[in-house]
Amino acid sequence: MIPASRPRLIVLYVVVAALLLGLGTRVWYLQVRTGTAYLAQANAERVRQVIQPPVRGPIVDDTGAPMVDSHSALVVSVSMPTLWKQSDGGAAVLSRLGRLLHIRHRRIQREVRLCTAGVSQPCWPGSPYQPIPVAENVPPRIGLQVLENQRLYQGVTAAVQPVTRYHQPISTDLAQTLGYLQPITASELKREGLPVTGFSSVDLVGQAGLELQYDRELRGTPGATRLAVNAAGQVTGTVSAVKPQPGDYLVTSINSAIQQDTEVALAGAVQRGQFAGNPVGKGGAAVVMTTTGRVLALASYPTYNPSVWTGGISTAEFGHLFSTHGGEPILNRATQGQYAPGSTWKVTSVAAAVAAGFPLNGTYQCPAAVNVGGRSYVNDGSPSLGAMSFYTALVVSCDTVFYNLAFQIYLRDHPRANDVRSPRAPVQEMQKMELAWGFGRATGVDLPAENPGSVPTRSWLYYLWKDNAHQGQNWCKYGKANGSYVQQIEWDDCRSGNIWTAGQAVIASIGQGYVSVTPLQLARAYAALANGGTLYSPRIGEALISPAGQVVGRITPPVAGHLPVAKSTLAYIRHALAGVVTSGTAAGTFGGFPLGKVCVAGKTGTAQVSGNQSTSVFASFAPCDHPKYVVVMMIPNSGFGAQVSGPAVRQIWDGIYGLEGHKAALPGGVLPGLPHLDRAGQLVPPAGFGPAAARPGQAGAASRRRRHP
């Protein structure tokens, strides 16, 4: 060996050794360190998982009659990733499929495009990797054509899937409460830990109402079958199989007959208000509930058919649902509408006055007007009625009695705190009572969205001024001392919007000014008055029943608090409200009503709104001595409570007890028990209660099928 070559050989040996060492390390890493993972991956490539869709649980009324359920249907769907791989982007396949299904080519193209920025409805809001349904309830012969001609219909499948069905007319009457379903998004899949099933009907989630509130219980659990396949893709056996688990039945406390009667009465009242010359009024709400917090009816007008969401809602339909001009049918006015309660609020003012030391059995003056802070507050045009008790003040609804009480309490209620400089300012005495009755906060009803209303505390006033003086409505910028009426108000609010004035205090005592409530809040407050002081968090769901017939869980309205009012005071107020119906402001409304059979107590409310007609309110409970039920109606921009809402509430009481020509929804005022599953797997109504009969004007309404988008 030449001596000069020796260093080169050493270098060569080192390089070879390094290569061998690297190779050995890599072999060790692949076979030892990660061998198990690669083995699992190799095995997985020989196993195919097939997801089996569950049937979504139905939503039923208190007798077990379905409001929303599912049925099996043949659905044709399109896989867009497969079509995108074709040279024309799948245009020929979609055109061919449209002719087969008798669907216009333009429509089918719009339905399969993805909902992205700038894309109007109809479009596909779900994942692009999910099959997009384009037709359901397809005849078997068409399904066979699709399956047997995959060369012509690449990316198109036909499969039997569970499809949601809305029963009419109850689903339209209860549309906002039931909610609707939409395709699950990628973020929702990740959050819920769900698989993409490949079945469009399963990859849906509730987006509003009960469908959203009880989505997990209704959804069920998909099944999964793991199949062993060979290199050619042929199935050689079953590795494991888990059957799909259907969703639970959601039994609600909604009584279909009462719900339909309530919707008819509400719609009639709104329309009568419009015919009487109140064209601006477009909606209203009504609530029927037990005095223990169970909701029997939740009506919001205008309503809509929830099947509008199926098949890709159009831009026009979407706009109509959210249009204020069309009355915003999507809005659940019973839980989201916020209106001044008017004189129905006076029950809290009586309780606050007694708590402040005014004698329950004292006498109080009812002048024609009261001067407060240089402004005259009149008794709604009525003359002076002299001295009277709280009983009479409620029966005849004397405003000036409450103005005087509120002003006297105002004068001694931390007067230095009325110039509100901090959100920590003390709550006024009357507003403490109003908050204790559950106003100014959400009721906690089992629906995903509700508004809290407003109780004008000093803290509330501070934030209102802070958010709007120099921002928001920007009173200081747009207000003018000598401008329009609105500009003058803004000018005053800029300078003194944070001051709790005597005028605000007295107007709030009769449920006007800054006071606002939802119909459900007012109903639960009257339920607490009627039951002796227990404030419940309302519940629409009553029970969850498994597909096997077992009661998974009962849903009981939880106690949210107790009114800080003596039992004797509550009894006094209840007695006065019975007098409202027999000899007070609602006597004409209930003239001829068989009060001897069912005694109804109630309070009218007429809340004045600047620039509009008054909000008509009527709150009631029955029977007077042992109240079981509460009925409340609120219709903004409509007129007097005794003339608009009152007659409609009377109509609802007739429907409940069957006293004036209606068939009784609750004979004897007795609620049905819980329905149960029979041996055939059918939900059976409790003894004595069959399927709800069609209501007047709605006979023969058939169930309408809808398909998911």
Please count the CA atoms within 13 angstroms of the CA of 345 that sit on its side-chain side. Answer: 35
pLDDT at res. 28: 74
Contact 494, 469 (CB under 8 A): yes
Contact 462, 425 (CB under 8 A): yes
Does pLDDT of 275 surpass 80? no
127 vs 206: which has the higher pLDDT: 206
User: Is 202 exposed, middle or buried, given 0-12, 13-18 or 19+ CB atoms closer than 10 A?
Assistant: buried
Q: What are phi and psi of 551, to 5 degrees?
A: -75, 105
In this structure, the strands spanning 204-206 and 181-183 are: antiparallel
At 361-394, the pLDDT tens digits run 999 999 999 999 888 999 876 788 999 999 999 9
At 528-541, the pLDDT tens digits run 999 999 999 999 99
Give all strands of the β-sheet with 601-607 in edge-to-edge order: 295-301, 284-290, 629-635, 615-622, 601-607
Q: Which helix (H) or strand (E) segment is 606 a member of?
A: strand 601-607
Q: Classify 297 as helix, strand or coil.
A: strand
Contact 175, 208 (CB under 8 A): no
Confidence of residue 177 (pLDDT cuts 50, 70, 90): very high
Q: What is the mean pLDDT of residues 69-92?
A: 83
Confidence of residue 5 (pLDDT cuts 50, 70, 90): low
Q: Which of 236, 330, 198, 214 is nearest to 47 (CA)?
A: 236
Contact partners, residue 327, CB within 8 Å, separation at least 6: 282, 283, 301, 302
pTM: 0.84
At 111-160, the pLDDT tens digits run 788 777 777 767 777 666 667 888 877 888 888 888 888 888 888 888 77
At 417-440, the pLDDT tens digits run 999 999 999 999 999 999 999 999
At 639-677, the pLDDT tens digits run 776 788 999 999 999 999 999 988 999 999 999 999 988
Q: How far, in Å, are 622, 674, 704 from residue 390 at the CA level? A: 21, 42, 53
Does pLDDT of 520 surpass 90? yes
At 572-611, the pLDDT tens digits run 999 999 999 999 999 999 999 999 999 999 999 988 776 6
- Average pLDDT, rounded, for the chain: 85
Does pLDDT of 470 surpass 60? yes
pLDDT at res. 435: 98
Cis peptide before 122 (omega within 30 of 0): yes
Other C-beta atoms lying within 10 Å of the C-beta of residue 440: 20
Which among 28-32, 150-154, 212-216, 688-692 has the top mean pLDDT?
Answer: 212-216
Instruction: Delineate the domains of the chain, giving CATH numbers in brackets.
Output: 342-456+500-513 (3.40.710.10)
Rounded to whole angstroms, how far apart are CA atoms 633 and 622? 15
